[in-house]
C-alpha cells in the first residue's frame, strides 16, 4: 500500500520498521548537516484544511531533511474558498508533477476518500476525530525511547476520548505493540464503541494514574463540540486535570505525555508540563524522525 491512512492498517512489523528507520534518521538530524539526499526526485504537497503547528512544520522539516521538493497549501488562502472541490484541488496540484500528498482535514475519512479518487501516495496528517497516525507513531516511539519498549507497558489516555483522533490512533498503535491501554475521562467524553477496542475504562483519575506507567493527557476539543459535554472547564480541571500534588501522591513516578496544543491549567498544570516527568517536547522532536521514516518508506515504494 502506498499510503498511510491510519494505524489500523499497520501491523507490529510495519511499526517496527518505521521505528528502526526513524532511529537512523534521528541520528542523521543530530549531525551538523541534518540532511540526506534520499528524496531529491520526489515532490510532496502538504495540504492543510485545518489549523496545525506541530504536524505541519514537522512534515515540512522532515521532507526538507530528506531533500524532497515541498509545496505548502493552506485551504483558508486557496481557491477552496471559491468552491473548488477536494478532488479537483488535489488533481490540479498533482498535475504539477507532485508524487505525495500529506493532508489534514476536518472530516473523518477524508484521507481514505482522497486515496480512492486520486493517483498519489497519501499520508493522513489527521482527519477529524478519526485518526492521526503519525502522532500515534511518534507517541509510541517516545515511550520506547523513555521506557525501553512499548510491549507490556500500561498506558492511560486521559480526557476527551470521544473527539480525539490521537486517542483512536494511539489505542490501535499501543494494542498492536502489546501495551495495556486504559482510557480515563468523564462518561460523556468516552465513546460507546470503546468496549470493542480492547481497552479498559476508568472514570477516577487517581485510580487510573496509580495503574499506569504512562499518562497521555488530551486537550478537550471544544472546536468539535456543538454542545458542551462537561459542566465547565473548572469542573473538568478539578476532576481530570493533572497537577504536581496529584503526581506526588501516586505510588510511583509516571511518564506524562501530551500531543499538544496544551491548555495550560486545564488538563495539565505548567509545573507538570515543564517537569522532568513530562516528555512533551521529546514527542515533538521525535515527530520529525518519525515523519522522515514514513515518507522515506512510502517513497521507496513509489520508486519501485
* Total number of residues that touch ligand CP (CB under 6 A): 10
**What is the rounded distance in angstroms from the CA atom of residue 107 to the CA atom of residue 254?**
34
Structural contact between residues 193 and 222, judged by C-beta atoms closer than 8 angstroms: no
Kindly identify the residues of this chain, within the stretch 134-163, that bind ligand CP according to CB under 6 A: 135
Nearer to ligand CP, 54 or 146 (CB): 54
Pick one of 21, 55, 216, 286: the residue that binds ligand CP (CB under 6 A).
55
Q: From 25-33, 62-70, 203-211, 259-267, give the range in contact with ligand CP by CB under 6 A.
A: 259-267
- The answer to whether 177 contacts ligand CP (rule: CB under 6 A) is no
To 10 degrees, the CA torsion angle through 285, 270, 191, 137? Answer: 10
**Strand 154-158 to 121-127 pairing:** unpaired
C-alpha cell at 285: 522532536
Asked whether residue 185 is marked as a ligand-binding residue, the answer is no
**What is the rounded distance in angstroms from the CA atom of residue 180 to the CA atom of residue 162?**
19
Q: Give the CA angle between residues 218, 219, 223 to the nearest 5°.
A: 135
Q: From 71-79, 85-93, 111-119, 257-265, give the range in contact with ligand CP by CB under 6 A.
A: 257-265
**What is the rounded distance in angstroms from the CA atom of residue 188 to the CA atom of residue 262?**
21
| Helices and strands, counts by H and E, the chain | 11, 9
Nearer to ligand CP, 185 or 259 (CB): 259
Asked whether residue 135 is marked as a ligand-binding residue, the answer is yes
Binding flags for ligand CP, 67-106, as an x/- string (CB under 6 A): ----------------------------------------
Asked whether residue 37 is marked as a ligand-binding residue, the answer is no
Which parts are annotated binding residues? 54-55, 82, 104, 132, 135, 165, 219, 260-261
The residues binding ligand CP (CB under 6 A) are 52-56, 126, 135, 259-261
Amino acid at each position: 500500500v502506498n499510503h498511510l491512512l491510519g494505524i489500523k492498517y499497520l501491523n507490529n512489523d510495519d511499526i517496527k520498521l518505521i521505528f528502526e528507520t526513524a532511529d537512523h534518521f534521528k541520528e542523521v538530524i543530530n549531525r551538523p548537516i541534518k540532511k540526506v539526499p534520499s528524496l531529491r526526485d520526489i515532490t510532496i504537497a502538504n495540504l492543510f484544511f485545518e489549523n496545525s503547528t506541530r504536524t505541519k512544520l514537522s512534515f515540512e522539516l522532515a521532507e526538507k531533511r530528506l531533500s524532497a521538493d515541498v509545496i505548502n497549501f493552506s485551504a483558508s488562502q486557496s481557491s477552496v474558498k471559491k468552491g473548488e472541490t477536494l478532488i479537483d484541488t488535489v488533481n490540479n496540484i498533482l498535475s504539477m508533477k507532485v508524487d505525495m500528498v500529506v493532508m489534514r482535514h476536518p472530516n473523518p475519512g477524508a484521507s481514505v476518500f482522497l486515496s480512492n479518487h486520486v493517483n498519489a501516495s497519501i499520508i493522513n496528517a489527521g482527519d477529524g476525530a478519526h485518526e492521526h497516525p503519525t502522532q500515534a507513531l511518534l507517541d509510541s516511539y517516545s515511550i520506547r525511547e523513555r521506557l525501553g519498549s512499548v510491549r507490556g507497558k500500561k498506558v492511560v489516555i486521559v480526557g476527551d476520548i470521544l473527539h480525539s483522533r490521537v486517542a483512536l490512533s494511539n489505542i490501535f498503535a499501543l494494542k498492536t505493540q502489546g501495551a495495556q491501554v486504559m482510557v480515563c475521562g468523564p462518561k460523556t467524553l468516552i465513546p460507546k464503541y470503546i468496549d470493542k477496542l480492547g481497552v479498559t475504562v476508568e472514570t477516577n483519575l487517581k485510580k487510573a494514574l496509580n495503574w499506569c506507567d504512562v499518562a497521555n493527557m488530551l486537550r478537550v476539543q471544544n472546536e468539535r463540540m456543538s454542545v458542551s459535554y462537561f459542566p465547565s472547564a473548572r469542573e473538568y480541571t478539578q476532576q481530570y486535570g493533572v497537577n504536581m500534588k496529584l503526581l506526588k501522591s501516586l505510588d510511583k513516578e509516571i511518564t506524562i505525555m501530551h500531543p499538544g496544543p496544551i491548555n495550560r491549567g486545564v488538563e495539565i498544570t505548567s509545573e507538570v508540563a515543564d517537569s522532568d516527568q513530562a516528555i512533551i517536547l521529546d514527542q515533538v522532536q521525535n515527530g520529525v524522525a518519525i515523519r522522515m521514516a514514513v515518507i522515506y518508506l512510502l517513497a521507496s515504494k513509489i520508486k519501485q
